[in-house]
Chains A and B, each alone.
Chain A
Amino acid sequence: MKKKRARARTRPAARPAARPPAISPAQALWLELMPFYIREAWLLDDRRLSEWLDLFTDDVLYFMPRRKNVPRREAHRELTPLGDLAILEEDKRYLEMRVARLDTGMAWAEDPPSRTRHLVGNLEVTPLARGEVQARTAFLVYRSHLETDHQILSGCRDDVLRKVQGAWKIARRTIVLDANVLLDKNLSVFL
């Protein structure tokens, strides 16, 4: 730092500072949301789950359809629709129950807790009507449990975000795992 300043002083005739490159509104939105997802990942991995719950609107739908083997030409049938049996089809109350359960000290699937690492990227943002935003991300989640159990969960999230009192909240999350038969003994970590 010191050196830089010194150099600047010795060059009083330097070109005027370049104007910051113009950012499009879409880029600005992307830059606003990427830290949102990084923060979410840290909240999950740090097990700060009540703060994580605050990232969701009260009317959230947290949905993980099943994923079937179907012919390529019938790709519309690959994900099971709402109304069919899902892996997760939760409202805020169910999410709160899941978090409250962990605090009882008797939620054995997560006590002792899993060690997780959520890597979230490939963010793609699309503005929707009424100020809502669609944000798609891809994730790799590593889970280590008890002594040697370990799993990698690969998938994507398709979120609808909405601003509530100035802060982005997730109003709908669709999680699609890259799996047909889940290889994991259970799915007790949040994605």
Chain B
Amino acid sequence: MGATRKHVVIDPATGKIDRRIFSDQAVYDDEMERIFGRAWLMIGHESLLPAPDDYFHTYMGEDPIILTRDGGGRLHALLNMCRHRGNRVVRCDDGNANRFMCTYHGWTYRNDGALDHVPGKSEAYYDALDRASLGLVEARVETYAGIVFATWAKDGPSLEAYLGDARWYLDTVFNRRDGGMQALGPMKWLEPANWKVMVDNCSDNYHVPTTHLSSARVQSKYLGRPRLSHKDQFESPNRHAFVNGHSITFRDADDNVPRYVHGVSSETFQLFQDYHDATMPEVERRLGTLRARRVQLGNHSIFPNGILGLRLALPRGPRQTEFWHFVLVDREAPEAIKHIIRVGSQANNGAAGMFEQDDVDNWRQVTAASASRHGRRYPQDLSMGLGHAGPHPEYPGLVSERYISENNQRLFYQRWEEFMNAESWADIPLDPIKARFDGTATMRG
């Protein structure tokens, strides 16, 4: 089972990583057990199943999960596998139902997972079937600001401890308004790349002026988008921070400018500025002055496979990943703002997104190189900014001196090693929560 295999893939002193981790089947199999079998995994958002008996079909790694809200409003993450033979009991993407019937033999489950009905309970099973032990397999579920997470680990920490001080940054988007956020989506597509390549890319702002220049350039011309160049990136006030396993980038500037989102134009910028100003007293009350006025979450990844907000990189084998793209909008934002964010999101992210479509061939070729007989002898070089990151007096986590750095990526692979080499959750280190969470926002919203 690989219980004794030690995964040593990164040399922290040089930033060299063994590229075989992007295509090796045995490594992948261990990841499914040791990372996706243990970590808190982002699986959805409460707004996708607002009413009693709503459900939303999702995945924990490769495992199909029915995320349900039972008649009493409680969330359940249920493995979509009939306990008799293993057929799926749900084949739809979402809906409203209080029972799920297996289409093979008719075993029927309640939406809290209990096995409710078995045809021939007496006639075929002689009343000997222990229905109580044959409910749908259930994972632990917790939420943060409406985002739903689940884990298979019974011995794991709380979601609050798992997110730790990363929440200090995440709050600036996901916990910003009293009314919370609303998820739209997902758009789903397959990418021929290893899941870690896109996760690690979340902190890779070095690629943006090269990979995405065509999109940025036309959007500067047509929409008045801020210019994008290497110089702008190198001189950016943004920062890189690795916090309790999670990769964060954030803008550190006290200039009262709304967070940049895809889709905003010079014509609509004022709308966003007005919204920013009008909601600032509420945001300050919720997050405290420092976070409300100085800190804006940028690209980020929640370990292991959350990508830029509520977007998922679902592993489908070492060389394939199913991407799920959602967009989150403030529920109480004006419709005009929701519209611009939604349209800007589909125009730039997702399978057809102008920005995102240019990423894929890079990622697939990085993945393919790791399977090259000759190429895989040569490690990847993640040495950028080595020795230029550390604790910061104000900001949680290990913060890089400069925005363009590979500090988060190096630490991501070290976190990966911690999970891969641990025998149980007791072996996986968690940083204590030390940040000051000024304001009224909590895990619950």
A residues lining the B interface (CB < 8 Å):
64, 66, 68-71, 74, 83-90, 93-94, 96-98, 100-102, 104-109, 146, 180-188
Contact = CB atoms under 8 A, between A and B. Distances in A.
A74 B93 CA distance: 12
Nearest to A105: B214
B187 A85 contact: yes
B55 to A, nearest CB: 12
B92 A71 contact: yes
Contacts, number: 121
- Name the prevailing secondary structure of the A interface residues: loop
Given A100-B218, A105-B214, A185-B191, 13 more contacts: A64-B352, A85-B326, A87-B350, A94-B347, A97-B222, A101-B215, A101-B218, A106-B213, A107-B215, A108-B211, A182-B187, A185-B192, A185-B364
Interface string B173-203: 0000000000011111111100000000000
B251 to A, nearest CB: 25
B45 to A, nearest CB: 12
Given A104-B213, A104-B214, A109-B361, A96 B222 contact: yes
A184 B222 CA distance: 28
A12 to B, nearest CB: 65
Interface in B336-379: 342-343, 345-347, 350-352, 354, 356-358, 360-362, 364
Contacts of A185: 189-192, 360-361, 364
B190 to A, nearest CB: 6
B346 A180 contact: no
Interface of B: 91-95, 184-192, 211, 213-215, 217-219, 221-223, 322, 325-327, 342-343, 345-347, 350-352, 354, 356-358, 360-362, 364
Given A69-B93, A71-B92, A187 B190 contact: no
Instruction: Output the residue of A96, A105, A108 with the most chain B CB within 10 A.
Output: A108
Given A94-B347, A108-B361, A186-B360, A88 B352 contact: yes
Given A69-B93, A70-B95, A187 B354 contact: no
A64 to B, nearest CB: 7
Given A85-B345, A90-B347, A104-B218, A186 B326 contact: no
Given A85-B326, A87-B187, A87-B350, A107 B92 contact: no
